[in-house]
């Protein structure tokens, strides 16, 4: 089992940047696919980005060119760099992990979850 601890959420003005971190303990993180999801008030949890064990990444269309997911296996940590933030990016952001091969964009495919720090983007 792996435990995920997130950090880096907060309040930022539109156009600003934040970096979220997702630190893992309990297992070798390099063996896991890691996804980022977000959930705004009153909305369903939605896929944001994912990074494979190989380092290959994918993004939902609304964040392409603005968000970057990366990983440091030495630090057992995955990052989500968010640039050019918009008010519609406001949500709780969750990292999630699974050993399932190519889990895709469904939250149901992920087994372990972080606590979901709030990101608020003011206009």
Burial class (CB within 10 angstroms; exposed 0-12, middle 13-18, buried 19+) of 39: middle
Q: How far apart are CA 81 and CA 19, in angstroms?
A: 4
Confidence of residue 1 (pLDDT cuts 50, 70, 90): confident
Which structure tokens are listed for 49? 């980005």
Assign 5 a pLDDT band (cuts: 50, 70, 90): very high
Q: What is the pLDDT of residues 62-112, one digit of tens each?
A: 999 999 999 998 999 999 999 999 999 999 999 999 999 888 899 999 999
Residue 26 has pLDDT above 90, yes or no: no
Q: Could you tell me whether strands 10-13 and 118-122 are parallel, antiparallel, or unpaired per DSSP bridges? A: parallel
Whether the per-residue pLDDT at 27 is higher than 80: the answer is no
- Please tell me the predicted confidence (pLDDT) of residue 3: 94
Burial of residue 91 (CB within 10 Å: 0-12, 13-18, 19+) is buried
- DSSP-derived letter for residue 97 is E
Could you give the 3-state DSSP secondary structure of residue 53?
coil
Residue 117 has pLDDT above 90, yes or no: no
Task: Note the helical H segments in 56-122.
Answer: none
């Amino acid at each position: 089992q792996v435990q995920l601890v997130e950090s880096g959420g907060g309040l930022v003005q539109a156009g600003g940047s934040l970096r979220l971190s997702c630190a893992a303990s309990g297992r070798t993180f390099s063996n896991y696919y890691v996804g980022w999801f977000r959930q705004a008030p009153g909305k369903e949890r939605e896929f944001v980005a994912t990074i494979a064990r190989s380092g290959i990444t994918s993004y939902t269309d609304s964040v392409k060119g603005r968000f970057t997911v990366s990983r440091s296996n030495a630090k057992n940590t995955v990052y989500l760099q968010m640039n050019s933030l918009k008010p519609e990016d406001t949500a709780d952001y969750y990292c999630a992990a699974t050993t399932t091969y190519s889990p895709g964009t469904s939250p149901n495919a992920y087994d372990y979850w972080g606590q979901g720090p709030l990101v608020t983007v003011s206009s």
